[in-house]
Amino acid sequence: MVSNALARQTREDSRVRLIDQSPQSVDMTRELLEGLRAPQKSIAPKYFYDEQGSRLFERITRLPEYYLTRTETGILRAVMREVAELVESDVEGRSGKPVLVECGSGSGEKARIVIDGISPQAYLAIDISKEFLVSSCEALSVDYPDLDVYAVCADYSQDWSVSEILDTTAPLLAFFPGSSFGNFEPDEAVTFLARAQRAISGRGSLLIGIDPPKDVSVLEAAYNDSAGVTARFNLNLLTHMNWEFGANFDLSGYRHKAIYNPIQERIEMYLVSQRDQEVRIGGERIFVAKDEVIHTENSYKYSYDRFVNVAQEVGFRCTRHWTDEAGLFSVFLLGA
């Protein structure tokens, strides 16, 4: 079933196949320096997800203030039988069980709900954090011994193709849960959906989680939890910069800040400098003034109409849409 030489076993006794597409091979140091030299200093949110960052995010998803995960999980459990029927009817002429492709797989907990619902022949988990990706895929493969599991270490915001990994014409269900879609800037969101549409066009659907606008107090509490886990997650970004790229950020010199921007309909996360300081990275020195902020994440909130318009712009059609009773979260099934 594996179509190229990229795949290898993660361990001798593991059923997981690792496809390491070396996302770190991109000149990320140059990308980081460009962000830190800009008038509004920034670090891309994809750098949150080293192994420690991934584990901290999993803790965030279990916090009482963080409504997103438990609400989406409830929706998925309630509608998965319907999803399975819709996915099957949308790919007439294609036989066999589908292939499930999850972008930004994290722990794979939500994927288990989908796996139970559609009984795929294979599961491809795409994530940038290799160590966390492999460990979560190995745990999943133990619980689903008859499922072919592929750990694809790659940047899912770039082009991806199932045919480069699996030699199969089976129907596809791409899965992008959580609020990660909101982390893209509007032009990046269009590009991501266009790439996903090309990857599955004529072969299946995209099941995607979308966080709609809501009361500001609910939104800001979700990103400023009382236990301070989100603050540690934000600051861990600097730890990642230090060990991965040889920077010398002093974590004690920064604090976490998250606010809602009602004009842009997005949460904005920052690291605020507590004093004048200088950072070395890639052989260069970057000055950070007291009270200057480093922008680390946006999380855009999409109304139904806004999201459907973006999806239709790249050739998707909205097959079905579900939400919880309180309207806290939405799940869309898009046909390609």
Q: Bigger pLDDT: 143 or 164?
A: 143
Residue 6 is predicted with a pLDDT of: 43
Whole-number pLDDT of residue 156: 85
Average pLDDT, the chain: 90
Residue 278: pLDDT above 50?
A: yes
Look at residue 106 in the predicted model and tell me its pLDDT.
75
Residue of 86, 89, 67 whose CA lies nearest to 209: 67
Please state, in angstroms and as integers, the Cα–Cα distance from residue 112 to each residue in 144, 223, 326, following that order.
Answer: 9, 26, 25
Tally of CA atoms within 13 A in the half-sphere of 216 that contains its CB: 9
User: Which among 47, 46, 36 is positioned nearest to 293, based on CA atoms?
Assistant: 36
> Of the given ranges (5-14, 151-160, 244-253), which has the lowest mean pLDDT?
5-14
The pLDDT value recorded for residue 240 is 93
Q: What is the dihedral of CA 314, 43, 20, 173, to 10 degrees?
A: -30
Q: What is the full DSSP assignment across 23-53?
A: GGGS-HHHHHHHHHHSSS-B--GGGG-SHHH
State whether residue 183 is helix, strand or coil.
helix
Q: How far apart are CA 98 and CA 152, in angstroms?
A: 18
Band the pLDDT of 217: cuts 50, 70, 90: very high
**Given CA atoms 31, 36, 39, 40 in this order, what sign does their dihedral have?**
positive
**What is residue 160's predicted lDDT score, i.e. its pLDDT?**
83
- Which pLDDT score, from 0 to 100, does residue 3 have? 42
Q: What is Dmax (Cα atoms) for the chain?
A: 64
User: Which pLDDT score is estimated for 321?
Assistant: 97
d(CA 242, CA 281): 8
Q: Which of 322, 336, 325 is nearest to 76 (CA)?
A: 322
**Where are the alpha helices (H) located in 24-156, listed in sequence order?**
28-37, 51-60, 67-89, 109-118, 130-143
- For residue 282, pLDDT over 60 is answered with yes
pLDDT exceeds cutoff 60 at 161: yes
Average pLDDT over residues 253-267: 97
Query: Span 226-231, mean pLDDT?
Result: 98
Task: Give the β-pairing of 148-153 and 122-127.
Answer: parallel
What mean pLDDT is predicted for residues 312-317? 96
Judging by beta carbons within 10 Å of its beta carbon (0-12, 13-18, 19+), is residue 265 exposed, middle or buried?
middle
pLDDT tens across 100-110, in order?
A: 999 987 778 89
